[in-house]
Structure 1
Amino acid sequence: MPMHLPFTPNHVQLISACYPPNAALLTAGPDYRPNSQELSRMTYYASNRPGKINKLASELEKRVRLDSRKAKAGNIRARSSLLITLATIKALATECRRDLPLLTASLLASVNLALTTLSNDLEVAARAGSVFTAWTTYTDGHLIGVDQSITQDYMSCLQAFTTLGRFGSQDQEVMNRTRLIGLAALTGVVTSEALYHSTQQLKAQVSIFMVALIAPLLLVEVSALDHEVSEVKTQPNSPYLSDFRNRPTMERRATSIHLHVTGQTGPSHRDVANAAMRALSALFEHSNGSQAGVSIQAAIDSLSEIDAWDKPEHCRWFAVRAAEWTQYQYRYGIPTRLVECLVQDQDAPQTTGRHSTLAAMITAVFTSPIPLVNLSTSDIISSLISVILRRVAKDPDDALLPALVETIASLGTHVYYTDQIQDLAGELISRLIVVETNGVLVNGKSDLGRVRAQAVRCLLAGLHSLIHAAEMHDIAKEDGDDGKTVHRAALAESGVTINVEAEGRTPRPDGHVRPSRRSNVSPEVWQDTLSLLCDADYSVRADYSSTLVSYLEREILKLWDCTDVDGVKRIRAIAEGPTRQASINHSVIFGDSTTRLLNALHAHLYVLATSTNLGVATRSHTPSSQRSVNGDTTTDDAKSQGDDTEENAPSRRSIGIPRSRKMSVMQRLLRNIPSKLSSFANVSATLSDYGNMLAILKAVQMNLPIRGLVTGVPMLLALDSALQGETSTDTASVQRVQAIRDVLAQTWLAIGKVWECPGVVEIAQNVRALSSPWVAMWLIFVQAIPENFSSRLPTLPEPSPGTFHTPQEPSAFAFAAAAADDSVRALDCEGLLLALVSCETVQEATSLDRQSLLRKLTASWSAESAFKDETQPPSASPPSSDGLSPLVKVLPALMPLENLSRASLARSTRGVGITDLREALEGRSSLSNTNLRETAPSLSTLEHASTAHGEMHKLAPVRSRASQQRSRFAGPGEVKDVLNKLGIGKVNTGGMLKPSFTSKKAETR
């Protein structure tokens, strides 16, 4: 033992006794450990006298400072002494863990001195890392951010270990050994209370060391990373460092960091990636929502720092794993922060790899099978739409647009509540209509129409892809995530045969397909997009036609159609019982939301086929329109605030655009239709437009046969009638007439095939004049014709969901003289109608007889009247003179016998009784019943509806106090109305119902 001078303090003597003699320092390796017996004496002294810990720590810090300086100069003994001192500090911290704050300042200062002075000595770094890990294991983190000197030393230690963790060298063995030491120390940090005690301090710490955890992952292939992830799950214990065990502070065991043994197989890149992966998983597992967002932001900054955006596969892998490692209830923070980072860079002049990779990371997280609860999908899709419009405004051909469309589509793969897809589609449609009407504000650009068209096409592609992704989500749920790519319900309702036996599946006994777990996009939400059929840009019209056909085939609710077990759709009777039949009859005859959509659709198709000027001029670009489309929040006037309220309203109400503006758009389109169609030479539709029109009409008739028949046949007759007035012999006019006749013939052919009506099929097949007798003979022999045999129209291409393709070019008319044998004869509409209404299948499905069906189909039709049917608000009962509900009207057929309970159906929700008569006599009924008011009401703002919902409401008329006093005494009209309701007054003989109770006395009167 070394000799001590007289009056040497006891704590100094205890420390000195832990060292071997100076002559033995050179042979203290390779362990470099203090004397165990003397070390135990010192730690026992410190644990029983906490007041002496500060003196012991100060003395050890002095020795570290002195030995570090000498070791840097090449003194081997000083290096040995330094290693022993660091081991002594670790033992003191372990044994005095209850009083660790007394030791913290000297411990962190000692570790910082050793790392900064001997940064290239791996053995010193490993010993300093062990001391640091012991402190991170037992600390509570309260001193970080409070004591300035401690915080500085701690941050300096983090920076030093981060430097070790991202160390680069030509010698891979040295590089990997160095990185493992740094990662071992950083693993102690991510499992320590010092990191999570304060969110502000967590942000500062993570921004320092995150780059060391990300860099090793980029040196390994993604397939190898997947293998290491599975190894981390199956083997939680690392071969290079012992993992943090989640125990109380006093029961924890600090990690010991050891160097790789020289001569053995050196650590590989996969070993380093494994260590980094364990640290990252621990970081996200211990983080809450805000902390996970801070961590992913630090990761994005680190990827920018090391310029890793050119490795999108690794970035996508990291984003998915970060979401997987985060706790279940906080995973939403990962994609949310990624979207925020993408929004922050939306105004960049050029698209960079950062933009594309961020979009790919968001898509990867959404398309992964990881559940993301509490995710605000509405906010995310709004942000993505804003980025799309910004990028389109910068460049219509921006390279980021396809990735953004794919990102929007990926939102449909996670459905958490029934109306989610409908809400997201409503948000998309809302912004779509804003762009359609207002355009996109472009700075320094002249081609405004192209920018607007690209913006509309992007949103349409996102809408179609979103619905398709939700459809795939339903398949995954029903098929157990087996990767099927066919939606069974959609295919069955579309008439596609599904071979269930070939797939090894047993069909349900009733032959029905289980319905989707989500709500389909309703016709009310979709209805305001129909004006895109008549857009001025053909690429918009073509893309919308494809999206509309997909919506009709897969998304819109298909009622009254039955699918057998073999998957083949067959039209059947729409009702099985009288009550259900009465309800459905009401929907067929008087219309529902789908009927209103089809009325508007046929009106727009008529405009497309006959209008001489498609499209409407967009509004002037004002600051309010810039804010509404691109998402800016600054405003200068009250009008812009009102517009912002409209555009941010929920999508269920008017889809963000006042109904009056949509009506004005349609009115302008209707004005472009000539009053008398004497010539079709100036019609704006191209040959491709008529092909798209045919595809839409076929989709309507095949997927919505009953309502499509009721709404579509009158339009077909009106269009055929318009052709009869064509008198021009101009080539352009003749060819357009031939194209429209081709559309009509093919649509009637589809109707005949759907309803299995041979008469309709025969008439529709023979509309083309055939010069070849062999072809005519063959048609007579086979009694059939290919669907496209008589059609010269271009087919509508099927869009690929999740992709944004280049704009489609239209096929124009050749305007050459049409051959006589290639003309399409006029349709025999009278014969078609008679054959259709005589079809028993049609009569059975619609529950109408021949005459009623003929009157229904031959009713007067015009585009204006059909559009008015669209704009009428839905009502519970059809307009009638007597005000009776439809159910009451059909009661005589359902219940022919006298039934006293029948009268209850005619009653309102609140019965009329003696109280109403008393109030009428006293004049109080006018206060609650608006129908009994006789005086003009005054206006009050007490019942003024809020404008937060995005619609401007008029002030509700509310009776003032004075007017209430004036109506205290009622007139005889109110009393008479109440008596009539009670059945005491004159009996209404014009109604269909008799009074509930009749007596001889009443008849005598």
Structure 2
Amino acid sequence: MHLPFTPNHILLISACYPPSASLLTAGPEYRPNSQELSRLTYYVTNRPGKVHKIGSELERKVRVDSRKAQAGNIRARASLLITLYIFKTLATECRRDIALLSASLIASVNVTLSALAGDLEVAARAASVFTAWTTYTDGHLIGVDRNITQDYIACLQGFACMGGTKLPDHEVQNRTRLVGLAALMAAVNSEALFHPSTHFKPQVSIIMHALLTSVLEVDVATLEHEAAVMKEHPNSPYLDEFRTRPAIERRAASIHLHIDGDTGPSSSDVANASLRALSSLLGHSNGGQAASVMVAAFETFDDVEGWERAPNCRWLAAKAAEWTQYQYRYAIPTRLVESLAEGQDTPQTTARHSSLAMMITTVFTSPTPLINLSTSDIISNLIGFILRRVSINPDDPLLPALVACIASLGTHVYYADQIQDLAAELIGRLVLVETNGISGVGKLNREKGRVQAVRCLLAGLLGLIHAADTHEPPKDGTQDGETSSKVGTSSTLPAPDSATHDVHLRPSRRTRVSPETWQETLTLLCDIEYPVRADYSAALISYLQSEIPKLGHYADAEEGVKRRPLEEGPSRQANTMQALVYGDSTTKLLNALHAYLYALATSSTLGLHSGSPGPTPERSFTSNASGEKDGRASRESPQSRERRSATLSSRARKTSIIMRVLQQAPARLTLPVSVSATLSDYGNILGVLQAVQEHLPVRGLLTGVPMLLALERAVESEGTSPPPHVFRTIKEVVIRAWITIGKVWKCSEVVEAAEKVIATSSTTNLPGVPQVHPGTLQEPRVPIPLPSESADIGDLPEFSGGDFVRLLATSQNVQEATGLDEASLLRRMLTQWSAESAYREAVEGRTAYDSLRGDGISPLIKVAPALMNIDNMSLQSLARSTRGVGVTDLREALEGRSSVSNPNLANKAPSISTLDHTSSIATGEQFHKLAPTRSRPQRSKLAGPGEVREVLNKFGIGKQTGNSLLKSPFPAQKPQQRSMPVAPPYTA
């Protein structure tokens, strides 16, 4: 019975409830009277101004009924269920005015969850109301209305608690979790999550805790199964287009409890619901939001100790990258690397570090393509993290995982020069560590830290290159039917016989790591520590086998002979011949390589690294920088000058040490013999020499044979008995190298003669080059020492390398491949050789091959100023250019480069020689200037007033001279007479 003058909306609401005596029999549906509910919705739809009043009245009833139901009142519980049903109907029917109903609806859901969270039926009805609201709201009230925002966050927390609850009854626990996950699924697809950008992170932090709880509790096999089910039976097409549909066309999902008597939901069902919500969340996120999702996942792992479940973490990282939109996937690995770097100063390695490192590797080795990824920043962060961990503990157990992270970056090649750029970054840091060591390490661990850092970077470099060649199309001589896949052997990469269907295999069309870049690492052959020398020898052989450019060669699979193929066109054949015979960047690498091998085999002291930085040979670079008192030097910041100074100092110091070591390499070993190399080193030397001859036969022959002859001369017997064991070992290395050369060139005479020498003398079992697994950091190797001098080793093998050279010179294969006759071959291979001279040839700025190609400047331009020192505009025709003198010429004249950039501006033609071009590597005192060959004294880098005045005169500014090559377009005017003459500004 209602009081008089009761408002109409209250009467309509009251009519929806059954009589008080019938409330207990309203179950199990607990729905209002359908006819009266229709009248209420019709009333509200036609009077939007009454929505707020109706919502307030329903909220009041929810608060009263919730309090009574919490105390055990059964009728109040039934009334509460009916009220919540009315809320859901109003939210659906009044979707246009949902903002007017939001405050009361969200508050009612929050009150219900706070009072009766343990009542699964009530919680499911509240979840249905919440789902209806999230379906139709636009999210504009979140973050604007304080009360609505607080109630909404409280609702999320309530459902998140249900989604991650743990109960003794496993079936009830799964039912409760499904209800909470259903509500969170609605929130994930709602505008309320994505519209307020400032509240995205707090919401995601709450949601991810519930989603990941179930993911971490099941094994990876279950997760894989549920992910496959999701692919076969994805979310409804309607749900996929949910956020793109207008609110008027959306349909709210219904949440139903499990029917009693049926089999209860399993953990797989709960995991499936969590994965669907997680995939939807990542699929709707942009780059920044995806990063926030990963941060929330990391926080959840910290709270529930999820880092201990490394397989689940790895699987989740791979799926996160797959589920994120294509253009935003870069955020996943980037955030992983950033999170890993945040803990670089932790004294002890934790499960978080290990899991993050494995997650990074998993993302990069997965078949999911990534774009917009800054690989340079990632590898820089990883290198810095490795160096920091080494400085804390050289034996950090995290180092192998970090090496695998660097190697995995080569799995996806996004642009042609990516591997070349990443390798250059690695090699640059490798050279700095080799020279300067590791900062922040105690004196006791300084050398150990340097060795470990070098080994880590070297392992990462080798793994990076091999990962980039996961699959390649058939190469020279490989038939289509033959297997041509080349799979890296990293522990994170599949084996060649792997049957995995999601293996990332794609053709590699990348730029190879250039010999100029790799040449910086050759000093590691003579490192003072054997573990570094052993690892580098294996890496060098791998580089020679699969990475170094092999110009004009192919492999004959049947005979194993490397030959130069016939190429179409005489011009291309000539260019190839010039590169092979006269040398190119690969020849420079081989020259330096043989110099280091000779030094390693004969030197009594090794090591290019000094414990302390020591004094810097300033003369090696100050002559170039001394003139920069103004101009470019003044424009540089102090930080850039400091970095460049440090680089020059390090490079100059390294070059000076290299030259000192090579100069000390003896031309002939004398008694008593003292060498630093071990028996394992000689085995590595032989392996490198064989790799050079087998994979670079032409250039290896022309650069390696003189070194072998020099090594043979160094150990010539002096008639002593017994001979030193070092002599016999070096001779065995040389004779076995000759056997390889004879086999490569199919010169049976050389092979038979060398094998006869081996058969008639006692041999030592030279250890082979250690096997490496690219992408993995192996234990440091222990060298095998040379036998004691008291051991009986027998006579030295007697042979003459000159005879082998003469046999090779008469070989038709050698003559055809090199294009040289017998006399030319003898002259090239019998030339006098030393380690110092070979290194000089390696570091010169220009080679004979460059001279043959030319420097790009027309010969007519070079001689034109001398032949045509006249005022003639036709000189420009020699340059094949119509460009006149401009501001650039003036700038270059101020910096002293006018004669190089524009020879027409010079009065005299300098006589240019290749000896003037020095290498940027050879900055030592001995290589700064080889010989002054210009016909006139060299100018300083900054031009004097004369050159600047000359260019200004060519512009027509100032006094005109008769020797000017360019005339001003207007005749010079006679200046007005003044009482005091005024000098041009550039004469001051």
CA–CA distance in structure 1, aligned partners of residues 318 and 157 of structure 2: 27
CA–CA distance in structure 1, aligned partners of residues 143 and 834 of structure 2: 76
- Correspondence for 1:559: 551
CA–CA distance in structure 1, aligned partners of residues 424 and 298 of structure 2: 32
Q: 2:131 corresponds to which letter in structure 1?
A: T
- Correspondence for 1:866: 838
User: Which residue, out of 807, 811, 818, partners 1:846?
Assistant: 818
Asked if 1:545 is matched to 2:518, the reply is: no
- Correspondence for 1:764: 754
Summarize the alignment of residues 492-641 of structure 1 with structure 2, pairs less than 5 Å apart.
516-564=508-556, 568-572=560-564, 577-618=569-610, 620=612
Q: 1:918 corresponds to which letter in structure 2?
A: N
- Correspondence for 2:701: 709
**Residue 461 (structure 1) shift:** 0.7
Aligned in 2, Cα 1:63/1:645: closer, same or farther, shift over 3 Å? Answer: farther
TM-score (norm 1): 0.81
Aligned in 2, Cα 1:379/1:295: closer, same or farther, shift over 3 Å? Answer: same
Aligned in 2, Cα 1:874/1:856: closer, same or farther, shift over 3 Å? Answer: same
Summarize the alignment of residues 990-1001 of structure 1 with structure 2, pairs less than 5 Å apart.
none
Worse-matched range after superposition: 673-682 or 794-803: 673-682
Worse-matched range after superposition: 680-689 or 837-846: 680-689
CA contact (8 A) 2:583 2:849 kept: no
**Residue 486 (structure 1) shift:** 6.1
TM-score (norm 2): 0.82
CA–CA distance in structure 2, aligned partners of residues 243 and 933 of structure 1: 71
Q: 1:93 corresponds to which letter in structure 2?
A: A
Question: What's the RMSD between the two structures over aligned residues?
Answer: 3.7
CA–CA distance in structure 2, aligned partners of residues 676 and 973 of structure 1: 61
**Residue 221 (structure 1) shift:** 2.1
Summarize the alignment of residues 810-829 of structure 1 with structure 2, pairs less than 5 Å apart.
810-819=783-792, 822-829=794-801
**Residue 824 (structure 1) shift:** 3.3
Partner of 1:472, secondary structure, is: coil
Partner of 1:767, secondary structure, is: helix
- Correspondence for 1:666: 658
Deviations 1:631-679 (A, max 9, x none): xxxxxx98765454689xxxxxx9x986534422311322432465323
Asked if 1:802 is matched to 2:775, the reply is: yes
Summarize the alignment of residues 409-428 of structure 1 with structure 2, pairs less than 5 Å apart.
409-428=407-426
CA–CA distance in structure 2, aligned partners of residues 421 and 440 of structure 1: 25
Partner of 1:412, secondary structure, is: coil
- Correspondence for 2:52: 54
Partner of 2:404, secondary structure, is: helix
CA contact (8 A) 1:528 1:662 kept: no
Partner of 2:688, secondary structure, is: helix
**Residue 143 (structure 1) shift:** 1.1
Worse-matched range after superposition: 37-46 or 759-768: 759-768
- Correspondence for 1:213: 211
CA contact (8 A) 1:433 1:657 kept: no
- Correspondence for 1:228: 226
Aligned in 2, Cα 1:611/1:544: closer, same or farther, shift over 3 Å? Answer: same
User: Which residue, out of 126, 131, 136, partners 1:133?
Assistant: 131
Q: 2:829 corresponds to which letter in structure 1?
A: L
CA–CA distance in structure 1, aligned partners of residues 69 and 792 of structure 2: 102
CA–CA distance in structure 1, aligned partners of residues 764 and 657 of structure 2: 32
- Correspondence for 1:918: 872
**Residue 569 (structure 1) shift:** 4.3
Q: 2:88 corresponds to which letter in structure 1?
A: K
- Correspondence for 1:351: 349
Deviations 1:267-288 (A, max 9, x none): 0000100111110011011111
Deviations 1:698-736 (A, max 9, x none): 000000000000111111111112223x649597x7111
CA contact (8 A) 2:584 2:849 kept: no
Where in structure 1 are there 5+ consecutive unaligned residues?
492-498, 504-513, 625-636, 648-653, 772-788, 889-903, 938-946, 976-1005
Aligned in 2, Cα 1:921/1:412: closer, same or farther, shift over 3 Å? Answer: closer
Summarize the alignment of residues 883-902 of structure 1 with structure 2, pairs less than 5 Å apart.
none
Deviations 1:331-372 (A, max 9, x none): 111111111111111111111111111111111111111111
**Residue 52 (structure 1) shift:** 1.1
Partner of 1:864, secondary structure, is: helix
**Residue 574 (structure 1) shift:** 6.0
Aligned in 2, Cα 1:869/1:199: closer, same or farther, shift over 3 Å? Answer: farther
- Correspondence for 1:194: 192
- Correspondence for 1:891: none
CA contact (8 A) 2:45 2:93 kept: yes
Where in structure 2 are there 5+ consecutive unaligned residues?
490-495, 500-505, 617-635, 877-883, 890-897, 911-919, 921-927, 929-939, 967-988
Partner of 1:766, secondary structure, is: helix
CA contact (8 A) 1:238 1:275 kept: no
Deviations 1:82-139 (A, max 9, x none): 1111111111111111111111111111100000011111111101111111111111
Deviations 1:756-800 (A, max 9, x none): 1122112222324637xxxxxxxxxxxxxxxxx955311111201
CA contact (8 A) 1:534 1:615 kept: yes
CA contact (8 A) 2:472 2:484 kept: no
CA–CA distance in structure 1, aligned partners of residues 80 and 234 of structure 2: 33
CA contact (8 A) 2:516 2:589 kept: yes
Aligned in 2, Cα 1:193/1:916: closer, same or farther, shift over 3 Å? Answer: farther
Aligned in 2, Cα 1:645/1:36: closer, same or farther, shift over 3 Å? Answer: farther
CA contact (8 A) 1:616 1:668 kept: no
CA–CA distance in structure 2, aligned partners of residues 477 and 150 of structure 1: 66
CA–CA distance in structure 2, aligned partners of residues 336 and 437 of structure 1: 31
* Number of residue equivalences: 876
Deviations 1:418-446 (A, max 9, x none): 11111111111111111101111134452
Aligned in 2, Cα 1:278/1:319: closer, same or farther, shift over 3 Å? Answer: same
- Correspondence for 2:148: 150
Summarize the alignment of residues 626-705 of structure 1 with structure 2, pairs less than 5 Å apart.
642=641, 644=643, 659-674=651-666, 677-679=669-671, 681-705=673-697
Q: 1:10 corresponds to which letter in structure 2?
A: N
CA–CA distance in structure 1, aligned partners of residues 348 and 208 of structure 2: 28
Q: 1:721 corresponds to which letter in structure 2?
A: R
CA–CA distance in structure 2, aligned partners of residues 445 and 593 of structure 1: 39
**Residue 617 (structure 1) shift:** 3.4
Partner of 2:521, secondary structure, is: helix
Deviations 1:892-917 (A, max 9, x none): xxxxxxxxxxxx99656999999985
